[in-house]
Structure 1
Amino acid sequence: MTAPGMGRRASPWLLVACGATIVTLSMGARQAFGLFMVPIAQDVGVDRAAFGLAIAIQNLLFGLVQPSVGALADRYGAGRTIAAGGLVYAAGLAATATAGSAAGVNVSLGVLVGLALAGTTFVVILGAVGRVVPAERRGRAFGIVTAGGSIGQCLVVPAVQTLIEGLGWRTTLYVLAGLMLLVVALARGVTGRAAAPDAAAPGADFGLRAAAGHSGFWLLNAGFFVCGFHIAFLSTHLPAYLSDRGVDAAIGAAALAVIGLFNVFGSYFFGYCGDRYRKKHVLAWLYLARAAVIALFLLAPLGATSALLFAAAIGFLWLGTVPLTSGLVGEIFGMRNLSLLFGVVFMSHQFGSFFGAWAAGWSYTATGDYDQAWLASIALALIAAALHWPIRDTPLGTAARAD
């Protein structure tokens, strides 16, 4: 008999497969938006500053509405939330194809797509996966879903460039809108919502009030802010940094592709580690590894080889934080409100992304180089490692275990 409030129970690994495919499509399209900057500027007269504002609006909304969208998924079901997000995503892309001004691009690519991303990416899908996959395999399942974002970076982005060259940017946006309708269809495989809490089970499920009073929740927020800072800084400014130092521009583009490729392996690996070891310790070591990789990159002679080796190493560490952080939230507070609680943590990630992209650019304008941004990245990684170690990771309502 189906548990109250759950609806039809999906096959765990079918749900994982559908969820990973949805993330591949939604994040793959998002990571290709930069390819539209030049053709939109040429055809519509939207300059780069206006286009950048649309992407900034998109990222901020993506983070700001994520807790609310996560709460809707917890209450009404992930499948319904994803389907609604897919429809809004398709509408936003189609509207961008018809936009004739900066205001139109800001509303379509900025507002509509930003809202849609909150319903079609990690937070909602990981919440659904966490409720159906057994605890001992949950980390690996989270890692597979997370890897979908980088598979999209490897597959969707090159395909979009080919379509723009062959069909034009407007038709390509319509093709992407059609792919978002496929997301709506795949949402049927991501079914169910949170079950009613079992009052007899200690520490089973806790909401935002309990999380707000738990120091570990705020430490996770701080750590994920650092993750967002790193990712936005590198994805936005690494190609320019390499170009400034005389490295061919093609290497900068290749470095981003290598980051995406190696993240596929890293996401699964760290999800696997989260099933075997205490997640807070794995997170601490991951951030220490980031600090070491960045420091070695700055100390080594810069060239094409060192740039690609750095991309491979940092790519392996890129989004391994997602299965570990979301898994730790679920481990402490239970699965019932995972989409809401991880949505709050993800919002912190997006704030970090904003500062990683903006502050690094501001620092470059003020000083003429990225030195301060690189040093800040190392310092923040060390701080994040220190913040994760003292987190109380025992499920609420149970006795604490010794470190």
Structure 2
Amino acid sequence: MNVVRRSAAALAATAVIGTATPALAATPSPSPSVAIPDGLYGTTDPTYDGVWRQSLALLAQRTVGVEPARKATDWLAGQQCANGAFAAFRDGADAPCKADTNSTGAAVQALAEVGGHDAEVGKAVRWLKSVQNKDGGWGYYAGGASDANSTSVVIGALAQGGVTVPNLRTGGKSPYDALLKLALPCGGKDGGAFAYQPDKKGELTANADATAAAALGLRGETLAGSRQDEDDSAAHCEKGEEPERAGTNGAAWLAKTLAKDGHLTTALPGAEPQPDYGNTADAVVALAASGLGAKATKPLRWLESNAGAWAAKAGPAAYAQLIFAAAATPGGDVHDFGGEDLVAELNATGPKPEGVDDDPTATASSTKSDEGGLGVAWTVGGGLLIGALIGFALMLRGRRRQQ
């Protein structure tokens, strides 16, 4: 989730609107507290999302056949810690490494897709395997309680890194076992959906963000997903413990949830519900990867009509999410998405990719989005631009994951 500001006075009514979200992270600062490194995509403070947004940007470029700039890939590879993991951001090779599974998983997905970084990928994969929980899953930080989002990001990374995921077991449990424990049974309320984590009573509550993540994770897909042939049976929740079927059940639940308005919604307490652009894009990718591409058309069209301003403010990861959605869905066009060329817009937020000419229009658009410090890259779960609300946003993040 992330937050798009209307005015400093509209505190309680500020809308939480989704982008690509690691399972847990702190809120980005409204202006850079560190110098923006050469090679990094985006112009906002990378402290909490540098590796995440860079990874999504590179993965999106490769998804559409663009060769990332060498210095962009080198910057990401250079963020690796001595133990093989990645932190959200390190301001120099000697900086402390507060490693997390989401940054590490995303970096592995991107570097494996770009190629030429087998050593870094292998080292990161070994670290991820070493911190697997006894239930088979992963939390945001090593040793933390497993959650659907972190486990799914790691599964995608391991699959990219050549690991046979079902055979990766600790305590007798595989990563798929961890996700299956978070699935709501067919026949009940929200059957097929996934919870982020069990609540304090051990009960499961449907969470759209977690469901979209699990639908990809149970197929061994990266954050980019892939387009699959239409499957009529995918539109229904069917009982069974087979991982891919469980992921398809999650996609079927997303399809029903999206059917009315064509988008997901979210809200801060006391505020009116607002469209959730990022998680809607994630849901579109999950539908297309589960054989429900036809049901992804309505939310994709909604994104085409409504997500342009959000992406311009949110930055590289947001453009990447829209690219994933457009590339995976029949009828999607990354070069004409509601009249916008998503690839050019993404490329304009960082180093010029190899073999790509400068695009004055895209560059001007990117510059405009950052005027006044509004172009905050809310790729790590979002927060409030108003500094006084940062603590409130952090508290809210944990609560929303149980909704």
- TM-score, reference length from structure 1: 0.25
Q: If you compute each CA radius of gyration, which structure gives the higher value, 1 or 2? A: 1
**Larger helix proportion of the pair:** 1
